[in-house]
Amino acid sequence: MTSSTPTASETPTPTPTPVDPLAVVPLPAAAKVDYQLGGAYDPEPDVTVVARDSGQQPVKDVYSICYVNGFQTQPGELWPNSLVLHDASGEKVTDPDWPDENILDISTPDNRAAIADKIAVTVAGCAGAGFDAVEFDNLDSFTRADGAFGIEDAVAYATLLVTSAHRAGLAVGQKNTPELGARGRDEIGFDFAVSEECQRYDECAAYTGVYGDQVIDIEYSDNMMETWTAICEDPQLPPASVLRDRKLLPDDKPGYVAKYC
């Protein structure tokens, strides 16, 4: 990698800006969640939370979460070369599971600030459109950076993102990364969590132990070890859980799956 792992003294974690608890709206209690990142469609009448991509519009009178790829590039996005991680040969580092997404280089304070400023434009768009909250995906990109940066850099950068979103009046969800423990809430300032397959990988307690009932979980129909009925009977499963198809297809597409407990 062209970037080396900074020492602890080089990566101080910014202090989160205090947020007025009345300025952001928490997740509704006992939420029924529709996770629509693969395309927007009208949710069922009893759905109380919808997550959509930042390029879509929120749902009127439904708590709406804006999806932002905060730690990797979205396909087709143009980013300054200096803000994208490169390997020793000078090639851009991509996510092995999403090869059209480049990993953003958050290894230095200057890079973190520059990237956060660019992401803040998208966050402002979410707020302006009327979303209630934002989730920043790929918080765990440090696990794919081959040592170029680590979890402390991710914590420092995530704090900048959360501060920006809070200033825009949005609640912020921690996306995956259970190894953060309480640091996600107490140090970074996340308001809730969005986990993928926490039941499948026995990680739900890592989220609910920190955020209580402010946890959304998405299980995927192509990776189930038991029936959905049995999964729903698992006491560790957060109440706001949904079974979705891996591609998160709209409800008019073949292969669409959405089930609730």
Q: Hey, is 33 helix, strand or coil?
A: strand
Could you write out the DSSP letters of every residue in 62-110? SEEEEEE--SBPPTT----GGGB-B-TTSPBPEETTEEEEEBB--SSHH
User: Phi, psi (5° rounding) for residue 35?
Assistant: -100, 100
Tell me which CATH code domain 8-259 carries. Answer: 3.20.20.70
Instruction: Note whether 213 and 29 are within 8 A (CB).
Output: yes
Which amino acid is residue 33, in one-letter code? V
Q: Are strands 94-95 and 98-102 parallel, antiparallel or unpaired?
A: antiparallel
Q: What are the residue ranges spanned by the domains of the chain? A: 8-259
Predicted pLDDT of residue 20: 56
pLDDT digits (tens, 9 = 90+) for 11-50: 455 544 455 544 799 999 889 999 999 999 999 999 999 9
pTM metric for this prediction = 0.90
Asked if the model's pLDDT at residue 5 lies above 90, the reply is no
Model confidence at 4, in pLDDT bands (50, 70, 90)?
A: very low
CB 135 within 8 A of CB 172: yes
Summarised one tens digit per residue, pLDDT across range 60-119 is 999 999 999 999 999 988 999 999 999 999 999 999 999 999 999 999 999 999 999 999
pLDDT at 9 over 80: no
Q: What are 140-193's pLDDT values in tens digits?
A: 999 999 999 999 999 999 999 999 999 999 999 999 999 999 999 999 999 999
- Written as six digits, the tokens of 256 are 């669409």
Confidence at residue 29, expressed as pLDDT on a 0 to 100 scale: 86
Rg of the chain's alpha carbons, rounded to an integer?
18
Question: Which pLDDT score is estimated for 22?
Answer: 45
| pLDDT tens figures, 192-226 | 999 999 999 999 999 999 999 999 999 999 999 99
